[in-house]
Amino acid sequence: MDESNVLDAAVRYFDSKDAVQFVDPGSDESYNMVRSTVSKLHNCELNDSIRISGRTPDIVGILGRNELIAVEAKGDKSLRKGIGQATDYRRGVHKSYLAAEASKLSVYDDAVHAAGVGTIPVGENGVIADEVQPPNPQIAGTELDSTRRALALKTNQFESGHFVFPPMYRPENALLPVLAIALEGESHQLSIKACKEAIRNADPEYSKAPRNPIQLARTLQLVEQNAQKSLQLTDYGLCGYNLVAGLQASVVVDTDRSQTEISELVINDIDDYRDNDALVAFLRDRYLATPPIRLLVRILADQEHNRMEVSQVLSAITRESPDVFSALFCSNNEKLRRQINNTSLSDREFRQRLLDITMVTYLYNFVNQLQVIGVLSEDSDKTDTNSDLQIGELYWEWDPNQIGVIGAI
């Protein structure tokens, strides 16, 4: 039986268990059937980045509320190798399985189970469900947190893999859609088209690219898209609006009604709030709520000093979660995938190639955003957006006391 047939059967089996799956798409035409199956299933996507022990599992995903699973599928050959691969996956999941044709798999039952791996026998009609043998659960794998973060990025309710930090100099512009929606009244919702139009009519420079503040507001969970495809405020967004209202609203006296009212806010009132501690703290909290920024902060907190060369930062991010590098900086996901799979690269070569596929504009603006919210210090280097990135030229600096506290949370 071909490996692709085994994998297709395993994907369908876990779909019947309502698992969320990410499947290695394979590299030849024999996997076309697998790719077709994945495209038809609701909770299933191709995996181009989640790795465990330096390898991409044939299946990695979530079963039930929070049980992480991985599957290594094998054809009629290389089952011994498959045992080793499935065993390695135990570092990053709670349960790891080896899937293969039933009669071939039975020969290795004892070795597989001795390794703590489960078995998924496949017959002509798919997985033989009543003969599936569960593995020994792993609750202390060294890469569990890494796998969990990578899966969190792909399964987050704010669109799989779309933790977008657009090229915006000032993070407070994420409040532009918040203001536009809030001014619509008690419903606190607005069509995407109307929201873009309101931003276009605003004064800030990003009004010519209204999708940018909307993307950032969604990433920071200030707004979300409802079932009617309109944007609406989240509780965080309402909190942000109240902060801005407290800063910007003027008080007028209505003499006819003998009471004080707050005048209406207009969207072009938004300004540079970096000197306002309350708003900076609010924005910093929203940034830190996203997995990419939390990963970055943890990497910085693990350093002995308060200064780190940028290519080393990017390398640490990529090796732990390629999805984070892809979401924040990458200009070519195909090159990134090839680079990650190239085990012959030295550390220096790996870092330089990361710089080669880094969007300089995104890196420049990302540093500005983190400086505004106080994650990086003002002494951190910002590259010229027209320059080529080279190892040893740029360094990020931070307050070790603040980063240490955040990283420990």
User: pLDDT tens, 148-200?
Assistant: 877 876 665 333 334 567 666 678 888 889 988 988 766 678 999 999 888 88
Cα 167 to Cα 213: distance, rounded to the nearest angstrom: 10
**CA distances (Å), origin 357, targets 207, 360, 363, 392:** 28, 9, 11, 17
Task: Kindly give the residue spans of alpha helices, DSSP state H, lying in 220-359.
Answer: 235-248, 277-288, 291-301, 310-320, 322-328, 333-341, 347-356
Note whether 308 and 399 are same-domain residues: yes
Note whether 297 and 373 are same-domain residues: yes
Residue 166 is assigned to a structural domain of this protein:
no
Q: Tell me which of 41-45, 185-189, 267-271 is least confident.
A: 267-271
Domain boundary among 155, 181, 196: 155
- Using alpha carbons, select from 165, 179, 168 the residue that is nearest to residue 233: 179
Task: State the DSSP code for 206.
Answer: G
Containing 254, the helix (H) or strand (E) segment is: strand 251-254
Residue 216 is assigned to a structural domain of this protein:
yes
The pair of three-digit structure tokens given for residue 166, joined into one six-digit string: 């657009």
Enclosing domain of residue 228: 171-286
Containing 233, the helix (H) or strand (E) segment is: strand 230-233
Q: Tell me which of 92-96, 198-202, 246-250, 333-337 is least confident.
A: 246-250
Domain boundary among 237, 259, 286: 286
Cα 165 to Cα 373: distance, rounded to the nearest angstrom: 14
Note whether 11 and 139 are same-domain residues: yes
The pair of three-digit structure tokens given for residue 292, joined into one six-digit string: 């990419």
What 3-state class would DSSP assign to 118? strand
The CATH number given to whatever domain includes residue 124 is: 3.40.50
Note whether 10 and 146 are same-domain residues: yes
Residue 25 is assigned to a structural domain of this protein:
yes
Note whether 23 and 149 are same-domain residues: yes
Note whether 301 and 279 are same-domain residues: no
Which pLDDT band, with edges at 50, 70 and 90, does 265 fall under? low
Mean pLDDT of 225-247: 85
The pair of three-digit structure tokens given for residue 386, joined into one six-digit string: 């027209």
Note whether 392 and 300 are same-domain residues: yes
Q: Name the residue with higher pLDDT: 252 or 93.
A: 93
The mean of the pLDDT values for the chain is 83
Note whether 93 and 219 are same-domain residues: no
Identity of residue 320: E
Note whether 102 and 224 are same-domain residues: no
Q: Name the residue with higher pLDDT: 320 or 358.
A: 358
Q: What is the largest distance, in Å, between two alpha-carbon atoms of the chain?
A: 91
pLDDT at 294: 83
Global model pTM greater than 0.95? no
pLDDT at 205: 64
pLDDT at 4: 93
Cα 354 to Cα 305: distance, rounded to the nearest angstrom: 23
The pairing of strands 259-262 and 251-254 is antiparallel
Domain boundary among 286, 311, 341: 286
Residue 85 is assigned to a structural domain of this protein:
yes
Note whether 229 and 253 are same-domain residues: yes
Q: Name the residue with higher pLDDT: 71 or 319.
A: 71
Mean pLDDT of 324-344: 81
pLDDT at 330: 83
**Alpha carbon 385 to chain centroid, angstroms:** 25
Residues 6+ apart with CB under 8 A from 120: 10, 13, 71, 97, 98, 99, 100, 105, 127, 132
| φ and ψ of 205, to 5 deg | -65, -25
Which pLDDT band, with edges at 50, 70 and 90, does 257 fall under? very low
Is residue 37 a contact partner of residue 8, using CB atoms and an 8 Å limit?
Answer: yes
Residue 162 is assigned to a structural domain of this protein:
no
Residue 338 is assigned to a structural domain of this protein:
yes
In total, how many domains does the chain have? 3
pLDDT at 226: 81
Task: State the DSSP code for 90.
Answer: T
- Using alpha carbons, select from 59, 69, 125, 64 the residue that is nearest to residue 96: 69
Mean pLDDT of 270-296: 82
Residue 161 is assigned to a structural domain of this protein:
no
Residue 251 is assigned to a structural domain of this protein:
yes
Cα 9 to Cα 131: distance, rounded to the nearest angstrom: 14
Note whether 348 and 399 are same-domain residues: yes
Note whether 399 and 295 are same-domain residues: yes
